[in-house]
A and B are shown apart, each in its own frame.
Chain A
Amino acid sequence: MKRRIDLPLLITLTILALFVFVPMISAFEYSIRTPVEGGYGLTNYKWAVADEDFLYYILRSGWLSALTVLVTLVILVPTVTWLHLSDSKLRPLIDGLSLLPLVIPVVAFAVGAQISLPEFVQNTVLELPFLYFILALPYAYRALDIGLNSIPLKTITEAARSTGASWSRTIISVIIPVIRGAVMGTIALTFALSLGEYTLTVLLHWDTFPTWVTFVAQENILGAIAISMMSLIIPFILLTGITLLMPDRSAQRRK
């Protein structure tokens, strides 16, 4: 049977694609301009990579973001699972509270959140993953919430428990693989948000990749754009890598 073209869907997707890709393509075009020689070339990229700070800051932001993902998963997966299983009256309240990071101004949030963190991370760079975690909370919480809503969580959990799995094994061996899509979404959102976070980082006087890019931009705007392009591509490669490492087995065999 010949598949009919869904026109409204096609239009929506085209608009969406334009919205996402036009700025990226424009930025890319700008980043490969070579004003001195004229025409196009990779001069700006070579310049960016040659700067020894580039690797330092991309790695620093990379491991801070990875740590944020870890903090998010360790804190959020058991918490949201518990909220779902307990039928707690607190759930609507926590749904609402999880949105607060979106409405509280970062300036107010930065200082308040900082002093509420455990002492061993206060005033060390390790405070950033915890603060990024809070900033990513509205998105991460919702991704997991939707994932857990879409499965028969209670039965699966009880089946795992009665078959001999402790709570931690139930979460790691059963719940996370079953809501794999939601967990991947949470990882992607949290990682991307942490990698690009600027305002809070500057307010707290830390240097990360985004703050370094703004610093570099004052000196070489084309170089800064080249760096930004790379910072778009690097998480994309990383996330693709994670997805491949955590394959959806049932989807594979379904083919």
Chain B
Amino acid sequence: MTSKDLTLTNVSRRFGTVTALDNFNLHVGVGELVALLGPSGCGKTTALRIIAGLESLDSGKVTVGEKDISKIPAHKRNMGMVFQAYSLFPNLTVEENVAFGLQMRKVSKHLRLKRAHELLELVGLPTHANRFTHQLSGGQQQRVALARALAFSPEILLLDEPLSALDAQVRVNLREEIRRLQISLGTTTVFVTHDQEEAMSISDRVGVMSHGVLEQIDTPDVLYNAPATAFVANFVGVMNRIPADLANGKVNIFGKSLTASKKGSESGKIVALLRPETISVKKSSSQGNARVLTRSFQGASSAIICQTHEGTIVQSLMASLDTGDFHPGTLVDLEVSTNEVMVTND
């Protein structure tokens, strides 16, 4: 079965007085991997569960290809899903777990075991077919869960925080593997996560959600460099928040006059949003405008955390080579390298 595109149109879902999704719209193209990113309670998991058919919707519709599947029960939707908690069937062996979807689709035993072995090969567990799930590590269990979700060639693959329960190293390896598999199989995929690094590193597009609506959906580059709202700017990547005054469309930051790019009707006292890499630190011969608090070495680059004399904490990201002298307490001059700055009132 080939992958199809997925569309959510004006989907709303309320739980009592809480609105989990509010006229939510989403389109995921064929073979695309879209991550839904947001703080807990933003509605991303609800959206995924509605796509899977595990949650009902109050209004709106879910379409796969040309077909409206809003009323179709979960087991007839032909979607593979990987859950946060290990969800393997403990009474079945690894190969039987992987073959389960095909068994439900009445595929002969010979064919389904053959397919299960193919998938286990793909996820790097060819020798674990006859083990039971409790004999596997967390990362291995999630690989098996991934193989199970892909074995019946689903139209859509749904990943519900599949890496959250794993160790840091395993997380990074497995997310690369998920991406590699997803590209080679061309499966349309929705990936829910609260970890922005995870979302940004493997997705074609990332949808940032807040309070049941999609704030912005774009490629990771656009989200980072041109956030549509202050929420997205703050949520994606590290962002410095520097209090300043807005006058005649200009903001003065560290002695430099920048053009303000407004998202609303900001005026007067505002907060300027600047990425760490747009701020550079220079050793000052006199008082300077800030003092170094810490320097955090990250390999090729280092983060320098400073405090301005007004008390604002500012983070700068620079090539490590240039930062060796910035010991805690050093008086420095902060400089801005851009000419434009995003401002907000919150």
- Nearest residue (CB) in A for B91 is A177
Task: Report chain B residues within 8 Å CB of A253.
Answer: 130, 132
Q: How far is the CA of A152 from the CA of B74 in the complex (A)?
A: 19
B101 shortest CB reach to chain A, Å = 4
- B87 CB contact (under 8 Å) in A155, A164, A166, A180: A155
With an 8 A cutoff between CB atoms, is A125 at the interface? no
Q: Is the CB of B104 within 8 A of A165?
A: yes
Q: Is the CB of B52 within 8 A of A162?
A: yes
Task: Report chain B residues within 8 Å CB of A4.
Answer: none
Given A169-B104, A250-B134, A253-B132, are A161 and B89 neighbors across the interface (CB < 8 Å)? no
With an 8 A cutoff between CB atoms, is B81 at the interface? yes
Task: Report chain B residues within 8 Å CB of A174.
Answer: 89, 91
User: Per-position contact with B for A46-61: 1 when CB-CB < 8 Å, else 0?
Assistant: 0000000000000000
Given A159-B81, A162-B54, A164-B152, are A152 and B91 neighbors across the interface (CB < 8 Å)? no
- Nearest residue (CB) in A for B98 is A163
Q: Is the CB of A155 within 8 A of B132?
A: no
Interface residues of A in 174-229 (CB under 8 A from B): 174, 177-178, 180
Task: Report chain B residues within 8 Å CB of A155.
Answer: 83, 85-87
- Nearest residue (CB) in A for B85 is A155
With an 8 A cutoff between CB atoms, is B79 at the interface? yes
User: Per-position contact with A for B122-138: 1 when CB-CB < 8 Å, else 0?
Assistant: 00000000101010000
Q: Is the CB of B104 within 8 A of A164?
A: yes
With an 8 A cutoff between CB atoms, is A99 at the interface? no
With an 8 A cutoff between CB atoms, is A249 at the interface? yes
Q: Is the CB of A161 within 8 A of B74?
A: yes
Task: Report chain B residues within 8 Å CB of A107.
Answer: none
A213 shortest CB reach to chain B, Å = 40
Q: Is the CB of B105 within 8 A of A164?
A: yes
Task: Report chain A residues within 8 Å CB of B42.
Answer: none
Q: Is the CB of B75 within 8 A of A161?
A: yes
Q: How far is the CA of A155 from the CA of B130 in the complex (A)?
A: 23
Interface residues of B in 20-76 (CB under 8 A from A): 52-54, 73-76
With an 8 A cutoff between CB atoms, is B78 at the interface? yes
**With contacts defined as CB atoms under 8 Å apart, how many contacts are there between chain A and chain B in the complex?**
81
Q: How far is the CA of A229 from the CA of B17 in the complex (A)?
A: 63
With an 8 A cutoff between CB atoms, is B206 at the interface? no
- A164 CB contact (under 8 Å) in B89, B101, B145: B101
With an 8 A cutoff between CB atoms, is B148 at the interface? yes
B46 shortest CB reach to chain A, Å = 14
- Nearest residue (CB) in B for A163 is B101
Q: Is the CB of B132 within 8 A of A159?
A: no
- A250 CB contact (under 8 Å) in B53, B100, B132: B132
Residue among A156, A169, A254 facing the most chain B CB atoms (10 A cut-off): A156
A191 shortest CB reach to chain B, Å = 23
Q: Is the CB of B85 within 8 A of A163?
A: no
Q: Is the CB of B87 within 8 A of A152?
A: yes
Q: How far is the CA of A161 from the CA of B55 in the complex (A)?
A: 12
Q: Is the CB of B132 within 8 A of A254?
A: yes
- A156 CB contact (under 8 Å) in B76, B79, B89, B105: B89
With an 8 A cutoff between CB atoms, is B149 at the interface? yes
Residue among B78, B83, B134 facing the most chain A CB atoms (10 A cut-off): B83
Q: Is the CB of A178 within 8 A of B90?
A: yes
User: Per-position contact with A for B146-186: 1 when CB-CB < 8 Å, else 0?
Assistant: 00110010000010000000000000000000000000000
Q: How far is the CA of A151 from the CA of B53 in the complex (A)?
A: 22
With an 8 A cutoff between CB atoms, is A158 at the interface? yes
- Nearest residue (CB) in A for B77 is A162
Residue among A161, A178, A180 facing the most chain B CB atoms (10 A cut-off): A161
With an 8 A cutoff between CB atoms, is B80 at the interface? yes
A173 shortest CB reach to chain B, Å = 8
Q: Is the CB of A163 within 8 A of B100?
A: yes
Task: Report chain B residues within 8 Å CB of A254.
Answer: 132
Q: Is the CB of A178 within 8 A of B104?
A: no
- Nearest residue (CB) in B for A254 is B132
A255 shortest CB reach to chain B, Å = 12
With an 8 A cutoff between CB atoms, is A160 at the interface? yes
Q: Is the CB of B90 within 8 A of A158?
A: no
Q: Is the CB of B134 within 8 A of A159?
A: no
Task: Report chain A residues within 8 Å CB of B148.
Answer: 159, 163
Q: Is the CB of B83 within 8 A of A158?
A: yes
- Nearest residue (CB) in B for A155 is B87
Q: How far is the CA of A152 from the CA of B141 in the complex (A)?
A: 15
Q: Is the CB of A162 within 8 A of B74?
A: yes
Q: Is the CB of B91 within 8 A of A163?
A: no
Task: Report chain B residues within 8 Å CB of A249.
Answer: 91
- A165 CB contact (under 8 Å) in B75, B79, B90: B75
- Nearest residue (CB) in B for A151 is B90
Per CB-CB distance, the 5 closest pairs between chain A and chain B, nearest first, are A164-B104, A159-B87, A162-B81, A177-B91, A163-B101
- 24 A-B pairs in the complex with CB atoms less than 8 angstroms apart: A152-B85, A152-B87, A156-B87, A156-B89, A158-B81, A159-B88, A159-B145, A162-B75, A162-B77, A163-B75, A163-B149, A164-B75, A164-B76, A164-B78, A164-B101, A164-B105, A165-B100, A165-B104, A169-B104, A174-B89, A178-B89, A180-B91, A249-B91, A254-B132
Given A155-B83, A158-B87, A162-B77, 6 other A-B residues pairs in contact with their CB atoms under 8 A: A156-B87, A161-B54, A162-B80, A162-B81, A164-B78, A165-B75
